[in-house]
Amino acid sequence: MAQCLSSVVLLWISLGTVLGAGFLGVRPQSNDKCRYDDINEAHFSYDQNHCEGPMKWCNVHQCWSTCGSNIRQSPINIQTAETIREGFGDLQFRNLHLRVPANISNNGHSPDFDCKVETDEALRLKKNIILTNVPMRGDKQYIFAQLHIHIGNETNRTSDSNINDDEGSEHSIDGQFYPMEAHLVFYDSSFDNIGVAKPVNDSLVVLGVMIKDKDLCSLEEGKMNEKFYRKHCYRKRTKCKGRFAKRLSDNMEHYFEEIRNHDPVKPDLEKSSDDDIREYQCGDHPDLDFIYNNCMKRSTYESRNYREVESGISPLDVLPCDQSFYTYAGSLTTPPCYETVQWIVFKCPITVSKKAYRNLQLVQDSNEDDLKLLGVKRHIMTRGGPEPSLSEDQLELLEKSWNSIKVNIANIGVVAFMNLFQTHPEVKDAFLPFQQLAEDDMEHSAILRSHALRVMGTVDKCLTRIRTPEKLQSLMHELGERHVNYSAKYDFIDMVGGQFVHAIKPHLQDSWSEELGEAWVQLFRVLCYYMKKGMRDNNANAD
């Protein structure tokens, strides 16, 4: 039996470069504070008007500063007119016949179905459900770890709010929200557990499935259970109709009622490490050492309010029949909002019973209020923020440093691409001339050196135009349009800048500073912004 549907894959990647529930463990009650020093006490809210609410998460604790980033935060509104169609292969699942053991608990945020992940090295790829062939993630393997569901609130149904809190899906497609959105969370199998994995680049994949609710299911939909799914849905694509996800619906009806009441927890008196006195501000991205030393203390304590899911869980409980999807590089949708998620948002919804939906609404949060009061939903994030620009100080730093290093541009270019191919092998596969070259031959390849010189030549042209923004924009816009004809991957555009900055640093040791590094990073933000705009405009004109 084939492992997956043949799917039409639609790629939408944001400008700039989940765990829909990115918060591990039990959420403590609010102390009505706008800023917490101890990560064990930090509390976030879905109250839009509170200082602990979504717009202020980045201020609540410095470990959550990434929530204020405008680079690749989630969720987003997927505008289908701006998607780029890509022929990715199907998602592949291993051990999909398994129903993995799981617990469900009320963590004060949203009820989670948490898999009991097999951690034994010899068994972890045999006893866990594994996801592979993820777009933009090469040959990485991801372990199924969690299932949870987002809903909206019931307080704004008659208001003119543009946040659509009453519709519970976090993502929207062409502005359309759904009552609920399920998130299936997978983490990189090279890590011991999801907590260690989640702050690391490319470590998480989250499948988002829209959910509708129905009072009673028709006979036809009632038949669309897991047996129907296995027998028919793998053989051909179906029209985009809501499959009745009976197993999921039954679990929601049963277990959400069982764990409805929340047992409040008091934070442990033991504080997290404060040896590192750095202060991260909204929009900053804490480094991994800081995160592991200061942000890993979890507001989680043994709770009596959990149940074992008797039949276990499986992605089959949730996946729609038609597996056409949109994908983009994004973030966790709750604190700490790390930008480490590859999102797979399915085009077609599933349905569950009205009772299942109602039981989720009545689950209590950490303040012992029903989830329907505030919902469990982050607002749509603005992707990329305003058009990036360079300050006068940055212009001067760039011009001065470029004059020092441009004599070595060929070597710098080769080093940059070698590093890129090592960290992201899938990028090498996108370059037809490089596919047959062994790694040992790459560094001395005339083809690579020629390509590196062309790229560095473009950087040189950009540096001569940085004080005339309209010329710089025109240059990069035209370059983006040409790259569409080369079948360049939209998401790869952001990867070059970081490797370039890494490659020039050794040539500027005496004059290197954080300000200089940020100036180069900002330059590549500008270049990528207009290059990708050219790619989108080219695709729009072609359509």
Q: How far apart are CA 92 and CA 330, in angstroms?
A: 21
For the packed helices 469-485 and 446-465, what is the interaxial angle rounded to 10 degrees?
150
Q: In one letter, which amino acid is 502?
A: H
Q: How far apart are CA 377 and CA 375, in angstroms?
A: 6
Q: Among residues 200, 180, 184, 182, which one has the least CA distance to residue 192?
A: 200
Q: Where are the alpha helices (DSSP H) in 466-494?
A: 469-485
Q: How far apart are CA 182 and CA 171, in angstroms?
A: 11
CB-based contact 98:129 (threshold 8 Å): yes
**417: left (phi > 0), else alpha (psi -120 to 50), else beta?**
alpha
Q: Which of 109, 148, 183, 262 is catalytic?
A: 109
Contacts 24+ apart (CB under 8 A), 190-194: 190/140, 192/119, 193/117, 193/119, 194/19, 194/24, 194/117, 194/145, 194/146
Q: How far apart are CA 359 and CA 256, in angstroms?
A: 6
Q: How many CB atoms lie within 10 A of CB 139?
A: 9
Cβ-based neighbours of 138, under 8 Å, separated by 6 or more: 424, 425, 426
User: In the chain, what's the furthest Cα-to-Cα distance?
Assistant: 74
C-alpha count within 13 angstroms, C-beta hemisphere, residue 204 = 32
Q: How far apart are CA 372 and CA 154, in angstroms?
A: 6
Centroid of chain to Cα 157: 29
User: In which residue are the tokens 């529930």 written?
Assistant: 21
Q: Residue 382 is encoded by which pair of tokens?
A: 């603005």
Centroid of chain to Cα 75: 8
For the packed helices 514-542 and 469-485, what is the interaxial angle rounded to 10 degrees?
50
Q: Among residues 136, 116, 105, which one has the least CA distance to residue 27?
A: 105
Give SS3 for 489. Answer: coil
171 is catalytic: no
Q: Residue 330 is encoded by which pair of tokens?
A: 């994004």
User: In which residue are the tokens 């990036």 written?
Assistant: 388
Q: How many CB atoms lie within 10 A of CB 500?
A: 24
Q: Residue 526 is encoded by which pair of tokens?
A: 């500008």
Residues known to be catalytic: 109
